[in-house]
Structure 1
Amino acid sequence: MHHVLFYDYVDDILERRGPYREAHLAHAETACEAGTLRFLGALGDPVSGALGVFRAGVEEIEGFVADDPYVKAGLVTAHRIEPWTVAVGE
């Protein structure tokens, strides 16, 4: 089962993310290496949020969110997790 994580960011995310970006990306890389996170990236132009695709359960994703440096720094204003049924592809 796949799940999709949606983040909503503060309006000035690009100006405020600097001190937390390296730790945020390292956190995501750790989840990728563990095989739970498949993709994560920014949404919009200008950036307004992010989307992550997980091969994990909701509890594990909620743990990822709770430990994310962007969340801890208040850069994420809301998040939601939705189940995703893959119809085509791996």
Structure 2
Amino acid sequence: MTKYVLWGNYCDDVLEKRAPYRQAHLDGLAKQKASGVLLTIGPTKDLTKVFGLYDAEDEATVRQLIESDPYWQNAVWTEYDVKEWIQAL
């Protein structure tokens, strides 16, 4: 498996906009974590960025997971980038 880094942006009104989708978002992340594909994910303290680490077969798998998330589908996350990551230590 290959590791991937996610960096993304949140919308300006994230606290209000995420509320209706938060539980579905968290439930989906819990399933990804349980399956081993999601290592960690979370927002920056100022709620402007999201950071995640994935362990997946390929980048397309990671992108599919991100794009099927309620936060992406409802514009809570406004853009994202995925990069293959080399874990040095």
Task: Assess same fold via TM > 0.5.
Answer: yes
- Separation in 1, partners of 2:30, 2:7: 17
Segments of 4+ moved more than 4 angstroms? none
Aligned pair count reads 87
The aligned counterpart of 1:85 is: 86
Structure 1 residue ranges without an equivalent (≥5): none
Q: Over aligned residues, Cα RMSD in angstroms? A: 0.9
Q: What are the within-5 Å matches in structure 2 for residues 1-90 of structure 1?
A: 1-45=2-46, 47-56=47-56, 57-88=58-89
Cα shift readout 1:26-45 (whole Å, capped 9, x = no counterpart): 11111111110000101142
Instruction: State, as a whole percentage, how many aligned pairs show the same letter.
Output: 30
Q: Unpaired runs of 5+ in structure 2?
A: none
Q: Distance in 1 between matches of 2:9 and 2:45?
A: 11
Q: Equivalent residue of 1:17, what SS?
A: helix
1:11 match: secondary structure: coil
Deviations 1:49-70 (A, max 9, x none): 2111000120110110121000
Q: Deviations over 1:7-42 (max 9, x none)?
A: 211011012111101111111111111110000101
- Letter matched to residue 27 of structure 1: G
